[in-house]
Amino acid sequence: MADANNQKRVTAGMLVIGDEILSGRTKDKNIGTVADFCADLNIELCEVRVIADEIDEIVDALNALRKKFTYVFTTGGIGPTHDDITADGVAKAFGVALKVDDRAIKMMQDRFTDYPMNEGRLRMARIPDGGELIPNTVSGAPGIHIGNVYVMAGVPKIMQGMLEAIAPKLETGIEVFSASCDSQVGESSLSEPLAALQNSYPTVKIGSYPQMGSDKYVTQIVLRSADKPLLDEATQKVRDIIAAATKNKLKI
Amino acid sequence: MADANNQKRVTAGMLVIGDEILSGRTKDKNIGTVADFCADLNIELCEVRVIADEIDEIVDALNALRKKFTYVFTTGGIGPTHDDITADGVAKAFGVALKVDDRAIKMMQDRFTDYPMNEGRLRMARIPDGGELIPNTVSGAPGIHIGNVYVMAGVPKIMQGMLEAIAPKLETGIEVFSASCDSQVGESSLSEPLAALQNSYPTVKIGSYPQMGSDKYVTQIVLRSADKPLLDEATQKVRDIIAAATKNKLKI
């Protein structure tokens, strides 16, 4: 994809697969990690879905996301037990067979010296036809790369290792610059001039975030743009807006 | 909805609205809170989506979720600035007008003694036609209840207060019981008998979760069912499976 300036836009969706997140039993840490990872590579994370370990849910969500975005990152559901059905869902979504893969067995046995391939481990060695392996330095069982989809483990440490493994292979987007300005004035008092500023600088994305601290109220204004001079210009205007509002002693 | 035993099933979807989550700037805490909240009320949280502050994204996701589930909980995008467009999206999804609401102004002015209604504050007083207010004891500006949708703030403390406010109004589901068993044996060694057990007890949901600790490897098996005697029976069988595997000295 290319925008008006012929600069590349690389997008991503994320699919978190796991009953344990929806039940509240496990608190997800992977969304934030993937968001940071994408930001570092100038990949625009556009949507995240969290769904249950249900085959039809996985197929529907994966097909929706992989059509919409450059990449899809999934986490969870690739362990050895009966409730780990992500690989089944991925194979079904792509309409390909799911088979025990010799490369996966070799990867697992290379990682552990004494590693008999019982049923659970064979389950983790199942790779959809046409899929490539993502190395897992933590516990051996691979992730899967197929089409524009990267299938990773749900355990954060393993997932992070897999992200590092795939990073060099990903196409990265345009460089996006950001700036932020803190204000002791509440965002209600800034909203009118900020909206006007956003209208004047449509290619600079301006976000406003209240920071509820224990002793004072601070608003952070964050600006993002691929156009550095324009970003600097808009940032100075935000500083001017904050200074004027502060001078007016407007407080929330 | 009713299942085969004529027991009520109450479901929920959640929509997290905010560029700041997708950019990695803010790490979401609300998904876990809503998941716990639903679990406490025996409401089944079935899906979560995280989307950007884009009007069409909000309309599409909200319409998809509100048709699928008993309730939809949204967080984020109801502040005073131009990038807070959740109320606009909700109104558009329901096909109703969005107007400054006198009840909302009163609620905000009741909360703060000196609270002139500038443009930003008037923005927070906009309520879709037919919507009810959700009290906000933290910062005054209300959330919105319309149809089966509950629109709440993104700031965790405010969101939690709003959840408390709506809890008594929600229909709650059947009581679901849970049990868990820890195993020192890796889940690969348990997967075969657990899959067989799951087949024998289709109404008891059995999940397996590796716990990667610093000094030892533990697997936790979690069982859930609305049928307590059946849950107890299956839990005992899981204990037997773990005992047998431990006796076999199978280690990952």
- Which chain A residues are within 8 Å of B27, Cβ to Cβ? 31-32
Q: Are A76 and A17 in contact (CB under 8 A)?
A: yes
When pLDDT is cut at 50, 70 and 90, the band that residue B134 belongs to is very high
Query: How does pLDDT run across A36-46, given as a tens digit for each residue?
Result: 999 988 999 99
Strands (E), chain A: 11-17, 44-51, 71-75, 98-100, 126-128, 132-134, 143-146, 149-152, 177-183, 205-212, 217-225
The residue-averaged pLDDT of A6-13 equals 83
- Minimum-distance CB partner of B192 among A36, A120, A190: A120
* Chain region(s) in chain B for CATH 3.30.70.600: 177-247
Contact call for A155 and B212, based on CB within 8 A = yes
pLDDT for position B20: 95
Over residues A8-25, the mean pLDDT reads: 95
Retrieve residue B160's tokens.
């939690």
Look at residue B3 and tell me whether its pLDDT is greater than 50: no
Q: Which residue among B46, B123, B195 sits closest to A52, beta carbon to beta carbon?
A: B46
* pLDDT tens by residue, A141-174: 999 999 999 999 999 989 998 998 898 889 988 7
Residues in chain A within 8 Å Cβ distance of B187? 79-81, 120
Chain A interface, mutation test: which of B33, B50, B204, most A Cβ atoms within 10 Å?
Answer: B50
Pairing of strands A126-128, A71-75: unpaired
Structure confidence at residue B15 (pLDDT): 98
CA-based nearest distance A94→chain B, Å: 22
The mean of the pLDDT values for chain B is 90
The pLDDT of residue B177 is 87
- β strands within B8-76, DSSP E: 11-17, 44-51, 71-75
Amino acid of residue A30: N
Q: How far is CA B124 from CA A29, B38, B78, B99, in A?
A: 31, 27, 6, 10
Half-sphere exposure of A201 (CA within 13 A, CB side): 25
Count, in order, helices (H) and strands (E) of chain A: 9, 11
Give contacts of A222 with chain B, Cβ < 8 Å.
Answer: 20, 25
Report the residue from A16, A79, A157 with minimal CB separation from B208: A79
Interchain pair B120, A21: CB under 8 A = no
In chain B, DSSP assigns E strands to 11-17, 44-51, 71-75, 98-100, 126-128, 132-134, 143-146, 149-152, 177-183, 205-212, 217-225
Instruction: Answer whether B16's CB lies under 8 Å from B51's CB.
Output: yes
- Chain A positions in Cβ-Cβ contact with residue B51 (cut-off 8 Å): 46-47
The C-alpha angle A27, A28, A29, rounded to 5 degrees, equals 115
> H/E element holding B30?
helix B30-40
Degrees (nearest 5) of the Cα angle B35, B40, B42?
Answer: 90
- Where are the CATH 3.40.980.10 domain residues in chain A? 11-169
Nearest by CB to residue A192, choosing from B47, B51, B120, is B120
Of A47, A52, A190, the CB nearest to B51: A47
pLDDT of residue B1: 38
**How many Å lie between the alpha carbon of B133 and the closest alpha carbon of chain A?**
20
Contacts of B157 in chain A (CB under 8 A): 212
Question: Smallest Cβ distance to B81: which of A47, A51, A194?
Answer: A194
B13, B68 contact by CB (below 8 A) = yes
User: Across residues B64-88, what is the average pLDDT?
Assistant: 96
Nearest Cα of chain B lies from the Cα of A155 at a distance, in angstroms, of: 8
Kindly list the residues from chain B whose CB atom is less than 8 angstroms away from the CB atom of residue A57: 47
- B199 φ/ψ angles, rounded to the nearest 5 degrees: -65, -35
In the predicted model, is pLDDT for residue B93 greater than 50?
yes
For residue B217, what pLDDT is reported? Answer: 59
Q: Determine if residue B184 is left, alpha or beta; phi over 0 gives left, psi from -120 to 50 gives alpha, anything else beta.
A: alpha
Out of 3.40.30.10, 3.40.50.300, 3.40.980.10, 3.90.1560.10, the CATH code matching A11-169 is 3.40.980.10
Distance CA B152, CA B71 (A): 13
Give per-residue pLDDT as tens, B175-234.
878 898 988 888 888 999 999 999 999 989 898 877 665 355 578 898 988 899 999 999
Cβ–Cβ gap B23/A31 under 8 Å: no
Total CB pairs under 8 A between chain A and B: 177
What single string gives the DSSP state of each residue in A48-111?
EEEE-S-HHHHHHHHHHHHHHSSEEEEES--SSSTT--HHHHHHHHHT--EEE-HHHHHHHHHH
Q: B205-233 burial by CB neighbour count: b if 16+ within 10 A, else e?
A: bbbbbbeeeeeebebbbbbbbbbeeebee
pLDDT tens track for A173-232: 878 788 989 888 888 889 999 999 999 999 898 988 776 653 555 788 989 888 999 999
pLDDT tens per residue, range B45-69: 999 999 999 999 999 999 999 999 9
Contact B131, B145 (CB under 8 A): yes
Angle of helix B30-40 relative to helix B156-166, nearest 10 degrees, comes to: 20
A24/B38 touch (CB, cutoff 8 Å), yes or no: yes
Helix axes A55-68, A86-94, angle to 10 degrees: 50
Residue type, position B128, single letter: P
Q: How far apart are CA A104 and CA A203, in angstroms?
A: 46
Q: What is the pLDDT of residues A82-140, one digit of tens each?
A: 999 999 999 999 999 999 999 999 999 887 777 788 888 999 999 999 999 999 877 78
**What fold is seen in the domain B177-247?**
Alpha-Beta Plaits (3.30.70)
Question: Are B35 and A22 a contacting pair at CB < 8 A?
Answer: yes
**Cβ <8 Å between A47 and B27:** no
